[in-house]
Structure 1
Amino acid sequence: MRVETKLFTYLLAFFVPVIFIYGFWTKWTEPIGVTALTLTAGLFALVSFYFWMTGRKLPLRPEDNVSGEIEDAEGDYGYFVASSWTPLWLALAGAVMFAGLAIGWWLFIIGAFFGIVALVLWVFESFSGEYSI
C-alpha cells in the first residue's frame, strides 16, 4: 500500500498550494473554485490516510518490496470470468440512463430497468453456464 499512499499524498501536496494560488488569482471572490479544490484536497487526504492506516496493518506486498522480482507476484489474484458480454450491456444501460437525464425521465426509467437486469446477470453469471464455479 506504500505506492498508493505516496501517490495520493503527492496529489494532496499538489492541490494544497493550488488552492491558495487559485484563491489569490481570483482575489478570493470566487468561492466555488476554492471550495471544489479544498474538497478535492480533502478527498486525497482521506484516501491517503486510509491507505496509510491499511498499509500499516498488512504485510508488505510484492509491489512494495524495492528489491522484489516479477516472480514474487505470480499466482492467483481471484476468479474472473473468461469472457462476458454483460459489462457491455451494463455500460449501454448506464449510457441510456445518463441520456435520460437530459432527454426525459421516461428514458431514464427504461435505462434503469435494463441496468438492473444487466447488473443481476453480471452478478450471477458465475453461478450457471459454461463458466460456473
Structure 2
Amino acid sequence: MRIEANLFNIPVAFFLVAGTVYGYFTDWSEWVGFLAIYLTGAMFLMVGVYFKMLEKRHGQRAEDREDAEISEDAGEQGVFAPWSWWPLVCGLGAALAFTAMAVGWWIMVPAAIVGVIGLVGWVFEFSRGQHAH
C-alpha cells in the first residue's frame, strides 16, 4: 500500500503550493478559489492517510514485494454482491439529489426516499433471499 499512499500524498504538496500561489495573486480576496484548491489537497491527504493506515494494519502485500510469487494472491479476494441492483438504486437517489441542487430543492424529498430505500436494500441484501447467510 505504500505506492498507493504516495500516489495520493505527493499531490498534497502541489495543491498546498498552488493554493498559496493562487491566494497570493488574488490578494486573498477571492475565497472560493484558494479554498477549493486547499480542499482538493485535503481530499488527496485523506485518501493517502487511509492507505497508510491500511499498510500498517495489513502489512506488505504480495504485489508490493519484488520476490513475490503469483500463487501468493490466489484464492478468494473478497465478498461481492452478485447480480445486485441496489447500487443502481443508490446511484439514482444520488443523481436525483444532485438534480435537486441544480433545479429545485423540492426534488430532494424523493431523492432522499430513493436513496434510503437503496441503501437499506444494499445493506440487508444478504439477510434474505437467494444469497442469505
TM-score if structure 2 supplies the norm length? 0.77
- Aligned match of 1:8: 8
Please show how residues 74-113 of structure 1 align to structure 2 within 5 Å.
74-113=74-113
Describe the shift of the 1:49–1:113 C-alpha distance in structure 2 as closer, same or farther (beyond 3 A). Answer: closer
Q: 1:9-88 alignment to 2 at 5 Å? A: 9-88=9-88
State the number of aligned residues. Answer: 133
Give the SS at the match of 1:14: helix
Identity of aligned residues (%): 38
How far apart, CA to CA, are the structure 2 residues paired with 1:10 and 1:55? Answer: 17
* Structure 1 residues 7 and 114: alpha-carbon distance in aligned structure 2, compared to 1, 3 A threshold: same
Task: Report how far residue 2 of structure 1 moved.
Answer: 0.4
User: In the superposition, relative to structure 1, how do residues 26 and 69 fare at CA in structure 2: closer, same or farther (>3 Å)?
Assistant: farther
> Which of 85-94 and 25-34 deviates more?
25-34
What is the root-mean-square deviation of aligned Cα atoms in Å? 2.6
Structure 2: runs of 5 or more not aligned:
none
Q: CA deviation at 1:31?
A: 3.5
- Normalized against structure 1, the TM-score is what? 0.77
Query: For the residues of structure 2 that align with 1:46 and 1:94, how far apart are their CA atoms?
Result: 22
Distance 1:52 1:100, change over 3 A: closer
